[in-house]
Amino acid sequence: MANNYLLKREMGDMSSARSLALVAFVMAGIIISSDVVSAQFCQDDYKSIMMQCPGNIEKPGPKTPPSGECCYVMKRADIPCVCWLINYYKDVRQRISNAKVVYVAQQCGITLNPGIKCGS
């Protein structure tokens, strides 16, 4: 009888461990998917920036002062989200210059939080 009780208790503990692992897995999925959903919301910001500021933020070439249109879209964009998007996609990250993004933001009067990583 005591062995039966111990067996049930151990099985219950394993079931609890599995349940906990499942909850952790689901939570990780929710967090990752919420980041992806958030990034989808700023894709329009990214596209607008790429349309108005391509020569200002892409890697080839020197730093150039942004146009009024470039600053307009930069000021209205969710820059931390756009930076997350740039860092998430390797092909985009390879095209964008971190130094140029910072330069353009400064020229447009945008304050970036210290330590923000935007591009490579």
23-71, pLDDT tens digit by residue? 344 444 443 434 444 456 688 998 999 999 999 999 989 999 999 999 9
As a dihedral over the C-alpha atoms of residue 34, residue 39, residue 41, residue 44, rounded to 10 degrees, the angle is -170
- The mean pLDDT value for 69-77 works out to 95
Average pLDDT, the chain: 75
Selected residue with higher pLDDT from 111 and 35: 111
Distances (CA, A) of 77 to 20, 70, 83, 95: 39, 11, 10, 19
Question: What pLDDT band is residue 72 in, cutting at 50, 70 and 90?
Answer: very high
Quick one: 66 exposed, middle or buried, by C-beta within 10 A (0-12, 13-18, 19+)?
A: buried
Query: What is the pTM (predicted TM-score) of this model?
Result: 0.63
- The mean pLDDT value for 84-101 works out to 85
Is residue 73 within 8 Å of residue 49, measured between CB atoms? yes
What pLDDT shows up at residue 119? 59
Tell me the C-alpha distance between 40 and 36, whole Å.
6
The answer to which of 27-36, 76-85, 103-112 has the lowest mean pLDDT is: 27-36
Is residue 62 within 8 Å of residue 99, measured between CB atoms? no
What pLDDT shows up at residue 62? 93
